A and B are shown apart, each in its own frame.
Chain A
């Protein structure tokens, strides 16, 4: 069975028919080409498929595409500025060494972005709790937490302008 739905992804409107059984993850990846959202478990355990739906971090592998009708979706492809400049959260992840294999990174950047945009203050423990829906096997979460803390402090980038990359 197919159903017609409409939503926006990163500000762009889409209006099309989906198989009612399809997850939002499948639709984003296979039909619309937003491959930044990753499948790590398919059952909502790991957080790699997270996107922001009306600003809320959501596991898209267990979120039916039809539920997204009328919603605003933001994927990792929509986080940087249009001219390619990284967002402050992205810069913090780069500078703090929070990226290794990169498979969990899009989800974590998006959740951190939602926290930053909420304008709320978080203690370290609260921040950990907010990020605990994302599994990472590479980093031991150390630099991810640092990057998230830095993002929420109004992070100022240093490394991208370091002498090793000057002139880029």
Chain B
């Protein structure tokens, strides 16, 4: 379809605010003389607090409160302003006994579908180095830090389980008393008859693959401010992707009714899934309650943020694939072990979700997926861009490459032979593939990287510097349907001049959603971008309900609500114009800030005339607004491919990416410039995943070894090659304006593509990432190449 604003690279609506320093983030709202909160983290990975003495800390001048697991119930009954905090508390549940889940999922009315509740605000049992034992509120940061050092804790040390093997061993101590075998979940699936499918295959090929723990490293650390307002409600301003969910979880963590919490989300400095979780807000609320509701600021340092928020799960895979001589796959069996760290967070759903999104790419007669998610004494793993897919696609796209090599099949042809076709209905989710351009994406990537010419050129290399090509495919989803609720809300108010305010529950976290939503509204209402004012701040008291930014859902799911709200405004404008002119509304349309005749385009009334009349007509005045919710009970499956070319120094093990292209089938692209930006960022993060990033821990003690931005090898501008982004645009019939998701997809396939390129160059298969210089060197040595 031809659009005026949708599909154009218009300027971000927040770009000017961000280049001038006017965009305000949580900590930019800090009040003068705000109290400062700090956390006492456990130095032990697995230990019981035998005794804790806070008297010296409490006696330090400037300390306003010290909290431990023991004090939490008292917050509500003793140290708070009389008559205020009691009124917040419900009956006789003590906070210390309250366990809550932190994962940023929509709530479920079915108990069995809720997140695992395994966390206290402060704990008596340390389950990882960094666990929250106590907290201090003081007049300033230095005093708070000093006070932490004065808290005397005696620990009883327990056996430390850092690996899934150790945690799964018979007789291993339980990290959570109610969780037998330290297994958080084991939800897989089986489609068809696997053994039969493997038996009738010409070959059954096996492989083992492994990924490492990495971290989001959003530039803004977790930070929040909390206070109790005069209406006795807890107000929290926080750097989050999910304000409405934070509100629920804070209330649950304190055992108070949900309406007693108000959450405000200003601009945020990146999230990548880490802020699709509730890490600091419950403690921040407890801190404020402990000082009579005064404002308290809680900001994590980078070192804290890297271990005491969330990480990406490390996975180990075993794969068996039954395949015929012609390359047709009959059956796949994937076993996975996921290391979820000390608390559940999203752990129970990530392994399942990765396996679910994988299912769309290569439908086979039989597919069996056996994941287990295991508690260990490492920092908590949670949601991170891709949500389980970077792991499973690294494994399978490496595996299929190994199969191609072993059977002497062309790596592109083997994929093309097995990838899904339009019309396929997933047997489990019942989601239908209504648009699929994966083959076109592959063809485009092949052309961009000049695959055929280079493949011929790089045959039989023997020198110290060798080049290779690799590729990998992926499938994803647009939101979580049918697993979870996909509700979104949007509200539009038209001003007297025909411009509008757009209010959303969906959150801008840097990806550009505010801009694409504004484009959608401008498109429907026939107005220019500058007449759409997006209210970027979410405030749970004011903004429509929407679960927030995750699962690459917003352009698709929240976009549906935005389109619906804009269409309602359009209908009302045309009806009002009709009442002013007696021209039937169905003959009218909106274009270039005017009501026009649909057929001829002839102007009937200026939009501002209608808008003005809607405010001040002495008989019919009714300003034009809409306020809608949309429950998306549908999903659209995006696809894509990475092509990479690498150069490997056989003497040093250094891998250099020469060219890399991501080609995406994400339906209609609303804003090509912003879409390319998403691809660049995702690919860059994936390059780190493939080549350099890994959060390291001492195996025996669980102590972090590189939780800072110097030792954790985040790609800098020097490490990042030119990244090519391309799209095959085919509108999906279900999405607003034909869109499918794009936020997370770019991170899924680069790592296996790079790994396959290294294999092509060196004949060495790296089945574990990152392929950092140390590991490449060791592997080359093992292979006798060095």
Question: By the criterion CB–CB under 8 Å, are B720 and A40 in contact?
Answer: no
Which residues from chain A contact B722 at a C-beta distance below 8 Å? 142
Question: By the criterion CB–CB under 8 Å, are B511 and A40 in contact?
Answer: no
Partner of A38, one of B220, B528, B681, B717: B220
Q: Which of A114-158 contact B (CB under 8 A)?
A: 128-129, 131-132, 134-145
Partner of A41, one of B25, B708, B723: B708
B683 within 8 A of A: yes
Query: Quick one: CB contact mask for A86-123 with B, threshold 8 Å, 1 for yes?
Result: 10001001110101111111100100000000000000
Known: A103-B219, A145-B717. A165 touches B270 (CB 8 A): no
Instruction: Give the docked Cα–Cα distance between A105 and B723 (Å).
Output: 20
Known: A76-B20, A101-B268, A137-B685. A42 touches B301 (CB 8 A): yes
Question: By the criterion CB–CB under 8 Å, are B673 and A80 in contact?
Answer: no
Partner of B19, one of A37, A94, A135: A94
Instruction: Give the docked Cα–Cα distance between A79 and B16 (Å).
Output: 12
The minimal Cβ–Cβ distance linking B743 to chain A, given in whole angstroms, is 11
Question: By the criterion CB–CB under 8 Å, are B219 and A164 in contact?
Answer: no
B674 within 8 A of A: yes
Instruction: Give the docked Cα–Cα distance between A32 and B710 (Å).
Output: 30
Instruction: Give the docked Cα–Cα distance between A164 and B593 (Å).
Output: 12
Which residues from chain A contact B20 at a C-beta distance below 8 Å? 36, 76-77, 79-80, 86, 90
Which residues from chain B contact A90 at a C-beta distance below 8 Å? 16, 19-20
Known: A43-B302, A86-B16, A97-B676. A160 touches B11 (CB 8 A): yes
Among B522, B676, B681, B717, chain A packs the most CB atoms within 10 A around the CB of B717
- Stretch from B2-10, B562-570, B595-603, B732-740 forming part of the interface with A: B2-10
The minimal Cβ–Cβ distance linking B70 to chain A, given in whole angstroms, is 31
Instruction: Give the docked Cα–Cα distance between A144 and B30 (Å).
Output: 29
CB nearest neighbor in A for B219? A103
Known: A42-B301, A137-B714, A143-B677. A76 touches B708 (CB 8 A): no
Q: Which of B6-35 contact A (CB under 8 A)?
A: 8-12, 14-25, 27-28, 30, 32
Question: By the criterion CB–CB under 8 Å, are B27 and A39 in contact?
Answer: yes
Question: By the criterion CB–CB under 8 Å, are A137 and B272 in contact?
Answer: yes
CB nearest neighbor in A for B140? A19
Question: By the criterion CB–CB under 8 Å, are B221 and A165 in contact?
Answer: no
Question: By the criterion CB–CB under 8 Å, are A101 and B301 in contact?
Answer: no
B109 within 8 A of A: no
B217 within 8 A of A: yes
Question: By the criterion CB–CB under 8 Å, are B528 and A165 in contact?
Answer: yes
Instruction: Give the docked Cα–Cα distance between A86 and B20 (Å).
Output: 8
B458 within 8 A of A: no
Among A34, A75, A103, A140, chain B packs the most CB atoms within 10 A around the CB of A140
Q: Which of A4-63 contact B (CB under 8 A)?
A: 21, 29-30, 34-43, 45-46, 48
Instruction: Give the docked Cα–Cα distance between A165 and B528 (Å).
Output: 7
Partner of A164, one of B218, B270, B529: B529
CB nearest neighbor in A for B141? A26
Instruction: Give the docked Cα–Cα distance between A40 and B219 (Å).
Output: 5
The minimal Cβ–Cβ distance linking A23 to chain B, given in whole angstroms, is 11
B716 within 8 A of A: yes
B619 within 8 A of A: no
CB nearest neighbor in A for B679? A140
B181 within 8 A of A: no
Question: By the criterion CB–CB under 8 Å, are A104 and B21 in contact?
Answer: no
A83 within 8 A of B: no
Instruction: Give the docked Cα–Cα distance between A136 and B710 (Å).
Output: 14
B267 within 8 A of A: yes
The minimal Cβ–Cβ distance linking A124 to chain B, given in whole angstroms, is 10
The minimal Cβ–Cβ distance linking A84 to chain B, given in whole angstroms, is 8
A166 within 8 A of B: yes
Query: Quick one: CB contact mask for B647-658 with A, threshold 8 Å, 1 for yes?
Result: 000000000000
Question: By the criterion CB–CB under 8 Å, are A106 and B270 in contact?
Answer: no
The minimal Cβ–Cβ distance linking B611 to chain A, given in whole angstroms, is 16
The minimal Cβ–Cβ distance linking A126 to chain B, given in whole angstroms, is 11
Question: By the criterion CB–CB under 8 Å, are A99 and B18 in contact?
Answer: yes
The minimal Cβ–Cβ distance linking B271 to chain A, given in whole angstroms, is 8
Q: Which of B522-537 contact A (CB under 8 A)?
A: 522, 528-530
The minimal Cβ–Cβ distance linking A163 to chain B, given in whole angstroms, is 8
CB nearest neighbor in B for A21? B142
Which residues from chain A contact B21 at a C-beta distance below 8 Å? 34-37, 75-77, 79, 106
Which residues from chain A contact B301 at a C-beta distance below 8 Å? 41-42
Partner of B723, one of A34, A40, A109, A140: A140
Among B510, B511, B522, chain A packs the most CB atoms within 10 A around the CB of B510
B216 within 8 A of A: yes
Question: By the criterion CB–CB under 8 Å, are B25 and A103 in contact?
Answer: yes
Question: By the criterion CB–CB under 8 Å, are A103 and B10 in contact?
Answer: no
Question: By the criterion CB–CB under 8 Å, are A103 and B673 in contact?
Answer: no
B520 within 8 A of A: no
Question: By the criterion CB–CB under 8 Å, are A135 and B10 in contact?
Answer: no
Question: By the criterion CB–CB under 8 Å, are B720 and A141 in contact?
Answer: yes
Instruction: Give the docked Cα–Cα distance between A17 and B220 (Å).
Output: 29
Which residues from chain A contact B683 at a C-beta distance below 8 Å? 140
B578 within 8 A of A: no
Instruction: Give the docked Cα–Cα distance between A69 and B269 (Å).
Output: 31
Partner of B9, one of A35, A76, A97, A102: A97
Which residues from chain A contact B528 at a C-beta distance below 8 Å? 163-167
Known: A46-B709, A102-B510, A160-B11. A140 touches B681 (CB 8 A): yes
Instruction: Give the docked Cα–Cα distance between A163 and B219 (Å).
Output: 34
Query: Quick one: CB contact mask for A64-90 with B, threshold 8 Å, 1 for yes?
Result: 000000000001110110000010001
Which residues from chain B contact A46 at a C-beta distance below 8 Å? 219, 302, 709
CB nearest neighbor in A for B717? A141
Query: Quick one: CB contact mask for B164-185 with A, threshold 8 Å, 1 for yes?
Result: 0000000000000000000000
What are 28 sample pairs from A and B whose C-beta atoms fall under 8 A apart?
A36-B21, A38-B220, A40-B219, A41-B709, A42-B302, A45-B708, A76-B20, A97-B9, A97-B676, A100-B512, A101-B267, A103-B219, A105-B19, A128-B718, A135-B714, A136-B219, A137-B216, A137-B217, A137-B219, A137-B270, A137-B681, A138-B270, A138-B677, A140-B720, A159-B11, A162-B11, A165-B529, A165-B530
The 4 lowest CB-CB distance pairs between A and B, nearest first, are A36-B21, A101-B510, A140-B684, A103-B269
Given contacts A40-B221, A137-B685, A138-B510, 5 further A-B contacts (CB under 8 A): A40-B220, A75-B21, A100-B512, A137-B272, A164-B522
Q: Chain A residues in contact with chain B, CB under 8 A? A: 21, 29-30, 34-43, 45-46, 48, 75-77, 79-80, 86, 90, 93-95, 97, 99-106, 109, 128-129, 131-132, 134-145, 159-160, 162-168
